[in-house]
Structures are given as structure tokens and as C-alpha cells.
Amino acid sequence: MIRLEHVTKRYEGGQAPAVEDLSMVIPRGELVVLVGPSGCGKTTILKMINRVIEPSSGTIYLDGAETSTFAPHVLRRSIGYVIQRVGLFPHRTIADNIGTVPTLLGWDDDRIRRRVEELVALMGLDSELLDRYPQALSGGQQQRAGVARALAADPPVLLMDEPFGAVDPVVRTRLQGELLDLQQRLHKTIVLVTHDIDEALRLGDRIAVFSEVGRIEQFASPEELLARPASPYVDEFLGAHRTLRRAGLLRLDAILCRKAMPADAVQPYQDDAGLPRLASSATVRDALDVLLAGKHQAVIVTSGDVTVHVAFDDLRAALE
């Protein structure tokens, strides 16, 4: 869907390039996270994708066509942009902010108003807020309005630059959950930038880990990153408790499939009654927590009419 080929960006006066010889593919319908330290070129990459700035060299394709050949209104319709630090226009109402792109595209007032109302409902914002100015909204409400603005023309692609950077951890967690729900319904192609590895692991179908100099160190699923970091840099970037974090991503379904293979599908224990039970949607980490907290040798995991006993060894095997 989005393809970057040998893209380099040198800012005027900059000693080293902000982005150097970057090639990557962002598949349609996936949420791809770019994560890396401040200054590694993340914002520059987003701005080159929607042509706020032009690459010094290299080519960017959207659905196989070079973006450099697109008319501005086609790009606006195709790519929604959530700007770093929200970036709502302070002197425009929330309604006008959300209607920015439809207005630029020349929609009539009625159509814009209907779309704004739809988006406000979609983002769980109160329609009373529409006539207010951005500073009269909480941080979380502003972030939601920023996402609504990016979605206004229903673009297939969404670029989100640290979209939850300006809110406290509780609101941040909630907004992350909302984005995942939204993505389940909308199936956009999303490129999301963050410097927070936990956010990346929670949200990303795939994560590109960048080093200081704007080079991709690894581009992989969260599970793959945690299981097999490609370099000491990635390992360090992932931080402590890598195995526990992976356990937090791995659902017990995986064990259920493995253990429910024909021969040992049914191995009744004598002491079923006393064992704690977990749903198969719970994670390996949940099971570890239960086992560590109690005296039990196993937990019972059920899905439909399949029931298995999961012990420490099973959890360890799942993490191998």
C-alpha cells in the first residue's frame, strides 16, 4: 500500500541526513508503528509520505503510484494526518477544525455538518463541544478532535504523529484502546509514530524500530521483536522484562491448540474442582500470575468444549 524506496532527506544546513536511504513497505490495512528516540527522523518520514516536505532523493508510492505525481486534493483525500502535539487551529471552533479537509475539498456546508456530526459520535465526543475553541477542551478531547479531523474525508491512510503524547497515562491508555476498537471497524492503513515502546507493542501489527541515525534496526511483529530482537540495540530499546512482556501478548489459545492435539486432549486430573479457571483469551502472563500467587500446579483453560490443564511447563514451552 505505501512503499518507500531509498528515501533520503537532508534538511538545509543539516550536517547528517535526517533520514538516509530508507526502504520499507507498509501493507494495506495494517497499523505500523515507527518507534525510536527523539530526532531519529520519524516526523520527517510522515511528512514525506503526505508531501508536507519532499524527499531529497528516493521515491514514495501509494497503491503503486508515485505520490509526487498526485494532485494536492487527491493526497488530502487519501491521507489523513494527526499532527504531533495535536495541532488543532486555536482560532477555529472544533467543528471548523474537524471540517478542515472537507472544506478544502469544496464540500457543501450541509454535507460537512453531517460528516462532522458523524465523526463526533464516532470519536465519543460530546456535540456540545463543536462550537468551542480548542483551548476549552481537555487534552484527551483535543486528541479525539485531532483524530476526527484526520478521518474527515474518510481517507484509506492515516498518519498519526505521537497522537497520545500530550495526555496523562490514564487517558493515554483509554485512547489507545479506542484506537484499537476504531481500527477493528475501519481497517485503515495507519502509520503511527511514538517514542514509547509500550505503546508500540500494544498498538502495532508491525513495528519498525529506528536507531538514533534514522536507520531501521528491525521491522517485525511485536511477538517477533520480543522473541528475537535483531540486535543489541533493539534488545536494549525493548527494555527490561522482555519475556514477561511477551507473555503479556501471548494468549492461552496458543497452548490450547497445542495441548488439544488428539492424544492428550482429554487428560482428566483428579483435583479439577479446586483449580483456578481462565478463559483462553487470557494471556500466558495472566496464567503465570495466578500460578505464582497460589499453591496450584495448574490452571484450567476452557474454550468451547475443549478444556485443558495448563502448568508451569506448558507456559514455559509456549514462550520457547
| Residues in contact with ligand ADP by the rule CB under 6 A | 11, 14, 18, 38-44
**What is the residue type of 75?**
L
Q: CB-wise, 49 or 288, nearer to ligand ADP? A: 49
Confirm if 159 and 81 have CB atoms less than 8 A apart. yes
Q: How far is the CB of 244 from ligand ADP (least distance, A)?
A: 28
Q: How far is the CB of 45 from Mg ion (least distance, A)?
A: 9
Expressed in angstroms, the distance from the first to the final Cα of the chain is: 33
* Cell numbers given for 217: 534496526
Q: Which residues bind Mg ion (CB under 5 A)?
A: 43
Q: CB-wise, 139 or 165, nearer to Mg ion? A: 165
Residues 6+ apart with CB under 8 A from 294: 276
Alpha-carbon distance of 254 to 135, in angstroms, equals 47
Q: CB-wise, 99 or 146, nearer to Mg ion? A: 146
Q: CB-wise, 44 or 307, nearer to ligand ADP? A: 44
Alpha-carbon distance of 19 to 10, in angstroms, equals 7
Alpha-carbon distance of 83 to 145, in angstroms, equals 11
How long is the chain?
Answer: 320
Confirm if 67 and 74 have CB atoms less than 8 A apart. no
Q: How far is the CB of 9 from ligand ADP (least distance, A)?
A: 8
> What residue 312 binds from Mg ion, ligand ADP, none (CB within 5 to 8 A, per partner kind)?
none
Q: How far is the CB of 84 from Mg ion (least distance, A)?
A: 5
> What residue 232 binds from ligand ADP, Mg ion, none (CB within 5 to 8 A, per partner kind)?
none
Q: CB-wise, 43 or 50, nearer to Mg ion? A: 43
Output phi, psi for 47, to 5 deg: -65, -30
Q: How far is the CB of 234 from Mg ion (least distance, A)?
A: 20
> What residue 142 binds from Mg ion, ligand ADP, none (CB within 5 to 8 A, per partner kind)?
none
Q: CB-wise, 44 or 218, nearer to Mg ion? A: 44
Q: CB-wise, 39 or 294, nearer to ligand ADP? A: 39
> What residue 40 binds from ligand ADP, Mg ion, none (CB within 5 to 8 A, per partner kind)?
ligand ADP
Alpha-carbon distance of 149 to 101, in angstroms, equals 8
Q: How far is CA 146 from the centre of its chain?
A: 16
Q: How far is the CB of 195 from Mg ion (least distance, A)?
A: 8
Query: What does the DSSP assignment read for 279-291?
Result: ETTSBHHHHHHHH
Alpha-carbon distance of 35 to 283, in angstroms, equals 25
* Cell numbers given for 173: 491508555
Residues 6+ apart with CB under 8 A from 170: none
> What residue 189 binds from Mg ion, ligand ADP, none (CB within 5 to 8 A, per partner kind)?
none
> What residue 14 binds from ligand ADP, Mg ion, none (CB within 5 to 8 A, per partner kind)?
ligand ADP
Q: How far is the CB of 210 from Mg ion (least distance, A)?
A: 11
Residue owning grid cell 474525508: 153
**Secondary structure of residue 91 in the 3-state scheme:** coil
> What residue 269 binds from ligand ADP, Mg ion, none (CB within 5 to 8 A, per partner kind)?
none
Q: How far is the CB of 13 from ligand ADP (least distance, A)?
A: 6
Q: Residue 302 burial (CB < 10 Å; 0-12/13-18/19+)?
A: middle
Q: CB-wise, 12 or 305, nearer to ligand ADP? A: 12
Residue with nearest beta carbon to Mg ion: 43
